[in-house]
Structure 1
């Protein structure tokens, strides 16, 4: 069974959303997890915008990178430059992809402005995971 790991700095937004979409889109044919280089806690706006897509990540926890899971993954996806640059070294068998996505936690403005950024990033993640699922089926 293929294994995927989504990494970002704090495992609070982007990687959590990616894990949620991957569990839904890739299904039980994949082992799916996410983690961070640091632990920042789950961002409530990530929970809110994922719920709009019918995906509940409210019970997810912010986790540190598990080296054993990382090294046994088939695919590691970094969602920010910090995670890409600070990701522990992996065996040559681990395929790495980098998805340079804006950090929605840094969005400023009204609550509506901030949620707009979260939705944009969420939708980019969904699109990339749909593409990943399509490419795996080929």
Structure 2
């Protein structure tokens, strides 16, 4: 046991939001947390996800779109959904400690300019707060 909290970020396609969250948590605090991501209906990682992370100098190593089924039977301290659809589909994930639902607009379908960078910053702010709260001893 590493003593690290295991976090699984889930969105529908595992193309943007959950990938951003996984990379950001890894970047923010890999000492206390192990971050994973998955989708309820995975597709491919959107290239703009990699661009937004690279722009901030955040590693994208190992990021790939994967199904929540890959984590069947694994134990997570936190399962955090990043969209309402995933939140309703992940009500009863076995092996989940605390379930949290964060909702962010999907940058893939957004018409806003800089949608990916905007979503990246929103998720980063939430992750910094999460780390602050969960590592206070």
Q: Same fold (TM over 0.5)?
A: yes
Gaps in structure 2 of 5+ consecutive residues: none
- Single out whichever of 19-28 and 56-65 deviates more from structure 2: 56-65
Structure 1 CA distance for aligned equivalents of residues 67 and 105 of structure 2? 21
- The equivalent of 2:45 in structure 1 is 42
TM value normalised by structure 2: 0.88
Structure 1 CA distance for aligned equivalents of residues 61 and 50 of structure 2? 6
> Out of 111, 128, 131, which is 2:129 matched to?
131
Contact 1:47/1:58 (8 A) holds in 2: no
Q: CA RMSD in A?
A: 1.7
- The equivalent of 2:83 in structure 1 is 80
Name the structure with the higher helix share.
1
TM-superposition CA deviations, 1:33-71 (whole Å, max 9, x none) = 0000011101001110111111132641100002223xx
Structure 2 CA distance for aligned equivalents of residues 9 and 92 of structure 1? 19
> Out of 66, 69, 72, which is 1:67 matched to?
72
**Residue 34 (structure 2) pairs with residue 13 (structure 1):** no
Stretches (4+) displaced over 4 A = none
Structure 1 segment 86-105 matched on structure 2, within 5 A: 86-87=89-90, 89-91=92-94, 94-105=97-108
Gaps in structure 1 of 5+ consecutive residues: none
Tell me: CA distance 1:93–1:68, structure 2 relative to 1, closer, same or farther (3 Å): closer
Say how many residue pairs are matched: 131
TM-superposition CA deviations, 1:64-87 (whole Å, max 9, x none) = 002223xx1011100001110111
Name the structure with the higher strand share.
2
Structure 2 CA distance for aligned equivalents of residues 67 and 106 of structure 1? 29
